[in-house]
Amino acid sequence: MAVQRTKPSPAQSRPAADPGLRARILMVDDHQPNLLALEAILGPLGEELVGVTSGEDALRQLLEGEFALILMDVQMPGMDGIETAAVIKQRERNRSTPIIFLTAIAKDPSFIFKGYSQGAVDYLLKPFDPEILRTKVSVFVDLWRRGELIKRQAAMLRAQELRELERRSEVRFRGLTDSMPQCVWAARRDGEIHYCNRVWREYAGPDAGLSFFAGVPPDELPAVQVAWTAAIRGGRGLEREQRLRRHDGELRWHLCRVVPERDEYGAIVGWIATATDIDHQKRVEEAHAALLLREQEARAQLEEANRSKDEFLATVSHELRTPLNAILGWTRMLRTGVLHGEEKLQRALETIERNARAQTQLVEDILDVSRIIAGKLRVQVRHIDLRGVILAAMDAVRPAAEAKQVELAIDLRDEASDFHGDPDRLQQVVWNLLANAIKFTPGKGRVFVELRRSNGDAEIAVSDTGIGIQRDFLPHVFDRFRQADSSSTRMQGGLGLGLAIVRHLVEVHGGTVEAESEGEGKGARFTVHLPVRQVQPQPQETAALSEDGIHPEPPAPIGPTALAGIRVLVVDDDEDARELVRVMLGNYGAEVIQAASADEALELISRQPPDVLVSDIGLPNEDGYALLRRLRGLPQTARLPALALTAYASSADHRRALEAGFQRHVSKPVEPVELARVVASLVAEARARAAGSASSAAPGVLPLLSLAAVSQA
């Protein structure tokens, strides 16, 4: 293979239209002298001449580069010129390259036609005129050069169009990012931020600069910078929830994303960062989390309350069944006559009475808690002597203390005795504290009660040498239904309500109560702080005024015949309750008739009206209120004295009974003497009204009683 490239000397070169745009001419001939002759002819054109001696070499040259023109001999060993041209024209890249055939042998027209059919632009027979060849080559070179110039101009136009497109894309990108509801930043390959959109500038203000780092809280900035640097170095995206400061100082949550910008080869050329405001969503999530936490806490409290309720119900069942067992047991022995002797009889009666009173106290505690929860517990404030209140409570618990050989000691200061409060409720406070201390103090222990003035408050302290209180239970000692030992093996009974009632009664007096203990076996101390202040005493619920506003004169103590000649109608659907009231009132001389329903009562009244009506509230078909309304509608019973004797014992029940027309409301259970007093009082009022003088009460009749006092007695 022979390849030769020739470059014309400056003297031989002709001026080119564009000195930087030289054409390459491929000369193919198997005779080296012919190649040299062609170089001599074409050298003055100043183009690059490449000569080869075979068709194969010509194809190799075409693979390596492009040529403006091919001069090819027809007769060559191996691949002749016609075959080489056919192969060249098969390639898309060289299909438009002009070919001029040169031959001294193949002059037959068939060869000429065959050459043209293979894409030849000319067919010259040797010998040819050098000037003609040079002219023809010049024409094709000029055509090629013009084509190249057009290509260059087209390339320049495309480059200009691309620059314009890029400029328009940049404008479009900025417009797009400015219209987005997100903050957008653009960073270079090294992470340096060089662009931010309008949304960020408006959000952060003019002093924030391009970078979002200025909007990150200082305490969070190091972590953000570390995450940003790691993403840039690792060439990976970043997603992070981050607070960003607004121009007014408010920090709002944003979802920040950083993604790499890559070229067509996948190389990172920059970074795009966005921040979407998710503050509302974040606050909703936080609210939901807080709501879930509160729901979990409420559920835990509900479960604890449910557990406490179950324990309370089990305790109530136990505490009610225990005295019931004693009552039923001793009653059965009395009925069967197995108890002989006055001493055993008295013991049985005392046991029955003691356990019945214990049951009554349990019910009263439950009712007090119900009133506390409903906010209906009321106090009657008046001027009192705290020493008398404390001594009365001590007298009530003294038998229990003596039974356990517990010493009761007191230190009551005179300067702290003057107070304004409810004596009954404060006595209940002291009684509960004393009873609690005696219960948890072993035999031969000591309970000490103090009354003194401290920082302007009246301070009542009850301390004992008992079993003490565990430190972890101290914060719960005043909770309802809470007991340090609520197991079935506990040593002491009770519902766990006494101290809760104490706290509430103290608080309604404006005071506080606190418990102290150094631990198990070291006793306990309860201290009540009551603020001393001048309080306008409230009128006591004593006797109701008569029609002219004057109280009846206080009668002498009630005697065994105080109700003689008085006809009483007792209405109760419970046979045992009716019989009990009949015996109670009959013992004071009353004539008692009984009815089990409202209809039966009306039938008895139609025959002979009674002097007093004693009716239960809960009756079948028609309750006590409906019965009274029907009686008030009849002329002969419009002013019949009426007493509601019922197990509905709340203050609301008391008020409703009075509003319905009952003159008195007494809750069960009731002492016989108290019931007789109330009936006598009602008769006295009725007779006083009938006589026209409210002060002419019958001898032996007691004053009108407060029904609240009756129920608390």
Tell me: the pLDDT tens digits for 294-326? 999 999 888 877 876 776 666 666 566 667 776
Instruction: Specify the DSSP class assigned to residue 593.
Output: E
Q: What is the pLDDT of residue 403?
A: 84
Bridge partners of 646? 667
Q: Which amino acid is at 428?
A: Q
Bridge partners of 454? 457
Q: Is 672 exposed, middle or buried (0-12, 13-18, 19+ CB in 10 A)?
A: middle
Greatest CA separation for the chain: 175
Q: What is the pLDDT of residue 669?
A: 81
Label residue 615 by pLDDT band (50, 70, 90). Answer: very high
Q: What is the pLDDT of residue 463?
A: 92
630 pLDDT more than 50: yes
**Cα angle vertex 614, ends 609, 620, to 5°?**
100
Helix (H, G, I), strand (E, B) or coil at 70: strand
* Top CATH class, 378-531: alpha beta
Label residue 213 by pLDDT band (50, 70, 90). Answer: confident
Between CA 317 and CA 74 the distance in angstroms is: 128
Q: 232 Cβ partners below 8 Å, 6+ apart?
A: 187, 190, 191, 271
Q: Under CATH, what is the fold of the domain 4-153?
A: Rossmann fold (3.40.50)
Prediction pTM value: 0.43
The label of the residue with tokens 């008569």 reads 546
In the chain, CATH 3.30.450.20 sits at 180-277
H or E element, residue 548: none
- Contact assessment for residue 663 and residue 641, using Cβ atoms and an 8 Å cutoff: yes
Q: What is the pLDDT of residue 568?
A: 93
Is beta strand 612-615 parallel, antiparallel or unpaired with respect to 642-646? parallel
The token duo for 284 is 């909703």
In the chain, CATH 3.30.565.10 sits at 378-531
| 413-427, 480-494, 554-568: range with lowest mean pLDDT | 480-494
Between CA 108 and CA 112 the distance in angstroms is: 7
487 pLDDT more than 50: no
CATH architecture label of 567-712: 3-Layer(aba) Sandwich (3.40)
Question: Mean pLDDT score of the chain, rounded to an integer?
Answer: 80
H or E element, residue 35: helix 32-42
CATH number of 180-277: 3.30.450.20
Between CA 429 and CA 631 the distance in angstroms is: 43
Between CA 566 and CA 680 the distance in angstroms is: 9
In the chain, CATH 1.10.287.130 sits at 303-370
| 160-174, 307-321, 666-680: range with lowest mean pLDDT | 307-321
Backbone angles phi, psi at 377, to 5 degrees: -75, 125
In the chain, CATH 3.40.50.2300 sits at 4-153, 567-712
| 63-67, 150-154, 312-316, 471-475: range with lowest mean pLDDT | 312-316
> Is the Cα torsion angle 265, 268, 269, 275 positive or negative in sign?
positive
| 46-50, 171-175, 302-306: range with lowest mean pLDDT | 171-175
The token duo for 177 is 């990012």
485 pLDDT more than 80: no
Between CA 440 and CA 432 the distance in angstroms is: 12
The label of the residue with tokens 């050329």 reads 269
> Is the Cα torsion angle 434, 435, 436, 439 positive or negative in sign?
positive
Q: What is the pLDDT of residue 440?
A: 86
Label residue 150 by pLDDT band (50, 70, 90). Answer: confident
Between CA 130 and CA 635 the distance in angstroms is: 158
Tell me: the pLDDT tens digits for 469-484? 888 778 878 876 555 5
Side-by-side strand order, sheet with 457-464: 407-412, 446-454, 457-464, 524-531, 512-516
- Contact assessment for residue 2 and residue 58, using Cβ atoms and an 8 Å cutoff: no
* Other Cβ atoms within 10 Å of 372 Cβ, number: 19
Instruction: Specify the DSSP class assigned to residue 697.
Output: P
Q: 680 Cβ partners below 8 Å, 6+ apart?
A: 555, 558, 562, 563, 566, 588, 700, 701, 702
* Other Cβ atoms within 10 Å of 623 Cβ, number: 16
| 81-95, 419-433, 535-549: range with lowest mean pLDDT | 535-549
Q: What is the pLDDT of residue 436?
A: 86
Label residue 637 by pLDDT band (50, 70, 90). Answer: confident
Higher pLDDT among residues 316 and 72, named by residue: 72
Q: Does the domain at residues 303-370 carry the CATH identifier 3.40.50.2000? A: no
